Structure 1
Amino acid sequence: MCWLLAYLMIAFAATMWGLIGFFVKGLSEIGFSAMEIVTIRVGTAAIMLLIVGLSFFRTRLKIKLRDVPLFIGTGLFSIVFFNWCYFTAIDRMNIPVAAALLYTSPAFVITLSVLFLKEKINLRKLLAVGGTILGSALVAEITLTQSSSFSTSSIFIGLGAGLGYALYSIFGKVALQSYHPFTLTFYTFLTAALFLIPSFIGKPNVNLLIQQDVFLYAVGLGLVPTVLAYFAYSWGLEKVESSRAAIIATVEPVAATILGVMVYLEKISFIQGMGIVLILASVTLVNLPKGKYLI
Structure 2
Amino acid sequence: MKKKLAVVFVLLAGTLWGCIGIFVRRYNAMGLSSMQTVAIRMVIAAVLFALFVLIYKRSLFKIHLKDIWIFLGSGVISVGLFTYCYFSSIELSSLSVAAVLLYTAPAFVMLFSLIFFKEKMTVMKGISLILAVLGCAMTTGVIGGNLTVTLAGFLFGLGSGICYALYSIFSRFALDRGYEPFTITLYTFLFSAVFCLCVTDIRPVAGVVFADFGSVGYAVLFALVSCVLPYVFYTLGLKYIKSSTASIIATVEPVMATVVGAVVFAEPLAVPFGYLGVGLVFLSVVLINIRFKAKTKS
TM range (shorter): over 0.9
1:238-249 equivalences in 2 (<5 Å): 238-249=239-250
Judge conservation of contact 2:210–2:216 (CA < 8 Å) in 1. yes
Look up the match of 2:273.
271
Indicate whether 1:287 and 2:296 are aligned: no
Look up the match of 1:175.
174
Look up the match of 2:10.
10
1:84-163 equivalences in 2 (<5 Å): 84-141=84-141, 145-147=145-147, 149-163=148-162
Look up the match of 1:76.
76
3-state DSSP of counterpart to 2:250: helix
Residue correspondences, number: 291
RMSD of aligned alpha carbons: 1.8
Judge conservation of contact 1:26–1:217 (CA < 8 Å) in 2. no
Give ranges in structure 2 of 5+ residues lacking alignment.
Answer: none
Judge conservation of contact 1:72–1:188 (CA < 8 Å) in 2. yes
How far has the Cα of 1:156 moved from its partner? Answer: 1.6
Judge conservation of contact 2:78–2:164 (CA < 8 Å) in 1. yes
Write the deviation string for residues 207-261 of structure 1: whole angstroms up to 9, x where unpaired.
Answer: 2221235423321221012100000100010111000000000001111122122
Judge conservation of contact 2:36–2:201 (CA < 8 Å) in 1. no
1:167 is matched by which residue type in structure 2?
Answer: L
Indicate whether 1:210 and 2:210 are aligned: yes
1:88 is matched by which residue type in structure 2?
Answer: S
Greater alpha carbon shift after TM alignment, 190-199 vs 94-103: 190-199
Judge conservation of contact 2:143–2:273 (CA < 8 Å) in 1. no
Write the deviation string for residues 35-56 of structure 1: whole angstroms up to 9, x where unpaired.
Answer: 1111111101000001101110
1:198 is matched by which residue type in structure 2?
Answer: C
Q: 1:291 to 1:233 in 2, by over 3 A?
A: closer
Judge conservation of contact 1:74–1:188 (CA < 8 Å) in 2. yes
Judge conservation of contact 1:101–1:155 (CA < 8 Å) in 2. yes
Q: Distance in 2 between matches of 1:47 and 1:31?
A: 24
Write the deviation string for residues 92-125 of structure 1: whole angstroms up to 9, x where unpaired.
Answer: 0011110111011000000000000111111111
Judge conservation of contact 2:72–2:191 (CA < 8 Å) in 1. yes
Q: Distance in 1 between matches of 2:294 and 2:245?
A: 17
Q: Distance in 1 between matches of 2:193 and 2:127?
A: 37
2:112 is matched by which residue type in structure 1?
Answer: L
Q: Distance in 2 between matches of 1:49 and 1:277?
A: 35
Q: 1:3 to 1:234 in 2, by over 3 A?
A: same
Q: 1:27 to 1:143 in 2, by over 3 A?
A: farther
How far has the Cα of 1:201 moved from its partner? Answer: 4.8
Give ranges in structure 1 of 5+ residues lacking alignment.
Answer: none
How far has the Cα of 1:142 moved from its partner? Answer: 6.9
Judge conservation of contact 2:181–2:236 (CA < 8 Å) in 1. yes
Greater alpha carbon shift after TM alignment, 180-189 vs 268-277: 268-277
Q: What percentage of aligned pairs have identical amino acids?
A: 39
Write the deviation string for residues 170-208 of structure 1: whole angstroms up to 9, x where unpaired.
Answer: 010110122111100010010011111133355334322
Look up the match of 2:34.
34
Indicate whether 1:192 and 2:178 are aligned: no
Judge conservation of contact 1:23–1:220 (CA < 8 Å) in 2. no
Q: Distance in 1 between matches of 2:164 and 2:215?
A: 26
How far has the Cα of 1:291 moved from its partner? Answer: 4.9
Look up the match of 1:50.
50
Judge conservation of contact 1:97–1:143 (CA < 8 Å) in 2. no
Look up the match of 2:263.
262
TM (norm. structure 2) is 0.93
Write the deviation string for residues 34-86 of structure 1: whole angstroms up to 9, x where unpaired.
Answer: 01111111101000001101110211111110110000110011111110110
